[in-house]
A and B are shown apart, each in its own frame.
Chain A
Amino acid sequence: AQSVTQPDIHITVSEGASLELRCNYSYGATPYLFWYVQSPGQGLQLLLKYFSGDTLVQGIKGFEAEFKRSQSSFNLRKPSVHWSDAAEYFCAVANQAGTALIFGKGTTLSVSS
């Protein structure tokens, strides 16, 4: 069965520092992968997605993610974090039937000044 693991429950990064959030997936075929962000009290917003092609994907708000099939990973990165990036981040994979997304448990990002 498909699954998504986000190993880090909570990460704190200094403002201006770089960020990498880890995501590992379990999927038999070529996965459709997503990163979403959820600000407090809000719904989820899509940051970026990978379906095929270039394994380095650019998203909104300066985020990027790299698909590595050999490591079953889809890590999210940002070169310089802003205080407004503090939120919860979810990695997701579309299920095999194409009927829904399977989400990881999320990583909460705190940004220190």
Chain B
Amino acid sequence: DAGVIQSPRHEVTEMGQEVTLRCKPISGHNSLFWYRQTMMRGLELLIYFNNNVPIDDSGMPEDRFSAKMPNASFSTLKIQPSEPRDSAVYFCASTKSGGQDTQYFGPGTRLTVL
């Protein structure tokens, strides 16, 4: 079975540009998570979806960040406008059900905002 798929793997953009990160969870998984990893703050949960519905978005830094899950097999994380401090590795993870289940992580998207 394919694992969690993320695209692009690397993204370099200039400050002020819109960035869209994509995630395809494992088929049959009902829960999806977006995390951000930085040296300073480690791994932080940004948002959690269950059955395509956002359940916890308290980790979303500010209004520049938005996430959607239009169906069970696709989610996006958008940053508009991007800023240099958004540079990080963004991970998507999925579970069969809920946050206490085993989370399967994608390979991540390394975002660099110049």
Asked whether, in the complex, the Cβ of A103 is within 8 Å of the Cβ of B105, the reply is no
B15 to chain A, nearest CB (A): 25
Range, interface on chain B:
20 to 34
Option from B45, B91, B102 in Cβ contact (under 8 Å) with A100: B45
Q: Does A90 contact B (CB under 8 A)?
A: yes
When the two chains form their complex, are residues B56 and A97 in contact, meaning their CB atoms are under 8 A apart?
yes
**By the criterion of a CB under 8 Å from any partner CB, how many residues of chain A are at the interface?**
24
Q: Does A71 contact B (CB under 8 A)?
A: no
Main secondary structure of the interface of B (DSSP, over half): strand
Chain A residues 32 to 69 lying within 8 A of chain B, measured CB to CB, are 32, 34, 36, 41-46, 49, 51
Q: Provide a sorted-by-A list of 23 A–B residue pairs whose CB atoms are within 8 angstroms.
A: A32-B100, A34-B102, A34-B103, A43-B91, A43-B107, A44-B103, A44-B105, A46-B102, A46-B103, A51-B100, A94-B99, A94-B100, A95-B99, A98-B98, A98-B100, A99-B98, A100-B99, A101-B45, A101-B99, A101-B103, A103-B42, A104-B42, A106-B42
